Structure 1
Amino acid sequence: MEKYRVKGKITTIKSAGLRKTGTVDSNGTAVKKSDLPPLSMSSYVFTGKQLQKKQKQVRSTIQEAESLMALELGHTPQKKKRRILKIITQ
C-alpha cells in the first residue's frame, strides 16, 4: 500500500487520489500503486485568506441585493436598510 506524508500526517491513497489509475478495495484504500499523488487536504479546507475572501464576496452580494431591493421599492439609501430588514422579518 502506497503512503504519502501530508503536513506531518501519513495518509493512504483514497479513490480521489488514484484519479482512475488504480483500483480501490471496499475500505477506499488503494490496492494498486498510482502514478499520481493523492489530492492534498488543502483541496478540501479553506485557508484563512480564502475564508476572508468568501466572506467579503457574501457581504458584497448582500449589499448589492439590498441596493436592488431599495431601488425596486423606491427608497432612499438612508432608509433602505431599516425598511428592507422590516420587510424581510415580516
Structure 2
Amino acid sequence: MVFLKILMERSRLPVKNFKEQIMSTIHDNPVVIIQGATGCGKTTQIPQYILDEFIQAGRASECNIVVTQVSLLKCVLILCARSP
C-alpha cells in the first residue's frame, strides 16, 4: 500500500514529464547538468530513473550516482581555488 502511494506521488512530480528526454540526454552525453525548480524531483527522481534502468539491465552493482547542489559545488570550487 505504501509503495503504491509513493509511486503515485512520484508520477505527479514535474520531472516525470521529461523522463525520456532526460534519460536520452544522459545516454548521449558524458556529463549532464540538470536545472529545475525546487521540488520538481530532479534530485530524487532522476537518480531513481538511472538506478531503475541499471536494475532492469541486471547491472545494479555497477551503478554509482552522485548528486550535488549548486551552492555546495560553488563552495567546493572556491575552496579548491584558494588551495596553494
Q: Same-fold call, TM > 0.5?
A: no
Q: Normalising to structure 1: TM-score of the pair?
A: 0.26
Q: Which structure has the greater CA radius of gyration? A: 1
Higher relative contact order, structure no. (Cα contacts within 8 Å, ≥ 6 residues apart) = 2
